[in-house]
Amino acid sequence: MKRFPASRRTISLVAVLALLAAAFGYVALRSGPFTPIPVTVTTVESKAIAPSLFGIGTVEARYTYRIGPTVAGRVKLVHVNVGDMVEAGQQVAEVDPVDLDDRIASQEASLKRAQSSVLAAEAQVRDGAARKTYAETQARRYDELQQKQFVSEEADEAKRQEHQIALANFDAANANLNAARQDIARLRADRDGLIQQRANLRLVAPVNGLVVARDAEPGTTVVAGQAIVEIIDPTSLWVNVRFDQSRAFGLRADLSTTIVLRSQAHKTISGHVARVEPRADAVTEETLAKVVFDQTPEHLPPLGELAEVTVALPELAAAPAVPNAAIKHLDGKTGVWVIEGDALTFVPVRVGASDLDGRVQILEGLKVGDRVVVYSRRDINAHSRIKIVDSLTGNKP
């Protein structure tokens, strides 16, 4: 009954078996249910948080002038092209007047004819006046002759009647003259009206601006109110921004913002909130606001370009804050995992404001100095075995 001889063979065999056993032990501990979950931990600090709001919007012009005729017509000329700068009063397009010019000429002719009619009426008035004076004189003379019994009463009556007729004729001539003058006024007004209409077909720019659209070409028939060219005021560009309603609290006018245009992603442009729209978008659940540039950008962004807008809200008083990765939801409660000694406890908390870097203020439930779990390799629960490490991804977070 002797033991195995402690030969080299035995030693090598034992060594190989021991190695296997060690590797197995390592594997069992590292990959089974007994493996501790690596977690990272942070200490709750009191921090002032500067919350910000983030929204996206499109560049729009505050004032857009859509210039078109007030009556249906055919476009005759378009004088400007997209990209042209125009001045207030500059003609930008013209609608075909069709027969308007001929009608004006006709009115002119009528006017001239009416002026001749006035001359004729004036001549009639003079004629009437002469007849009236003569009849008056004749009537007076016959009156005197009749008193001296030189002429019969009948002859006197006749002269008096002639005088009456001459008076009436004179009044009629005067009335004719008035009518002829009124006619002139009417024809002149008619002609002026046509000239106005004619001028109305020449479309002019109401302001200094930039042509952004040329919607109709010469020959196109447009209906009343349809735009032929669109002009914007380039100094009035703003961003129509949409903020998710659930994170739009505190948005108000005059807050300063940074704007990043999609075409210039590396550059931030400063601006401020011009107004928050009183009417939100009920379908997309977004609050709308207009953000203006503090300085008109050197290179005008195209209308409709996408812009990211970050609105800085006033800094809040310091309060215990944790990273938002630490906030967990368990059984309908919001809370964090607090480490006391080796024990893990889920502490329900009430969360307050948060900033865009992911720091969340805790209004209730935590105090400064508490150690809370931030990152974990798996979901953890109260019975989890944990191992505290610096980082879970190798590099520092």
Partner 1 sequence: MISLAGRDILHAWGKFVFTGVGLGLLIGVTLTMAGVYRGMVDDAKVLLSNSGADLWVVQKDTLGPYAESSSLYDDTYRGILGMPGVARAANVTYLTTQVRHGDRDVRAMVVGILPNGPGEPGYLVAGRQITRSHYEAVADIATKFKLGERIQIRRNRYTVVGLTRRMVSSSGDPMVFIPLKDAQEAQFLKDNDAIINQRGRTAANPAFNRPGVPGLLDAVIASQSGNPFVNAVLVQIKPGFTAEEVADPIRRWKRLQVYTRAQMEEILVAKLIATSSKQIGMFLVILAIVSAAIVAFIIYTLTLGKIREIAVLKLIGTRNRTISSMILQQALGLGVIGFVVGKISATFWAPMFPKYVLLEPGDAARGFIATMVICALASVLAIRAALKVDPAEAIGG
List residues binding partner 1 (CB under 8 A): 1-2, 4, 9-10, 12-13, 16-17, 20-21, 23-24, 27-28, 30-33, 54-56, 221-223, 226-227, 243-244, 246-247, 283-284, 308, 323-325, 327-329, 331-332, 354-358, 374-380, 391-393, 397
Q: Are strands 319-323 and 359-364 parallel, antiparallel or unpaired?
A: antiparallel
Q: Give the residue with the Cβ less far from partner 1, 135 or 222.
A: 222
Q: 42, 371 in Cβ contact below 8 A?
A: yes
Place of tokens 């308007």: 100
Q: Give the residue with the Cβ less far from partner 1, 180 or 362.
A: 362
> Exposed e or buried b for every residue in 162-184, given b needs 16+ CB within 10 A?
bbeebeebbeebbebbeebbebb
Q: Give the residue with the Cβ less far from partner 1, 187 or 360.
A: 360
Instruction: Pull the structure tokens for residue 191.
Output: 């002609």
Place of tokens 């009849």: 135
CB of 323 to partner 1, least distance (A): 6
User: 222: which strand partners?
Assistant: 73
Instruction: Pull the structure tokens for residue 66.
Output: 């859509």
Which residue, 211, 176, 190, 202, is CA-closest to 83? 211
Q: Give the residue with the Cβ less far from partner 1, 32 or 314.
A: 32
CB of 344 to partner 1, least distance (A): 13
CB of 49 to partner 1, least distance (A): 12
CB of 322 to partner 1, least distance (A): 11
Q: Give the residue with the Cβ less far from partner 1, 41 or 327.
A: 327
Q: Give the residue with the Cβ less far from partner 1, 20 or 82.
A: 20
Rounded-to-integer distance, Cα 232 and Cα 297, Å: 15
CB of 267 to partner 1, least distance (A): 16
Q: Give the residue with the Cβ less far from partner 1, 121 or 248.
A: 248
Place of tokens 């203006």: 292
Instruction: Pull the structure tokens for residue 10.
Output: 């035995």
CB of 82 to partner 1, least distance (A): 17
Q: Give the residue with the Cβ less far from partner 1, 27 or 179.
A: 27
CB of 341 to partner 1, least distance (A): 22
CB of 363 to partner 1, least distance (A): 15
CB of 272 to partner 1, least distance (A): 20
Q: Give the residue with the Cβ less far from partner 1, 129 or 306.
A: 306
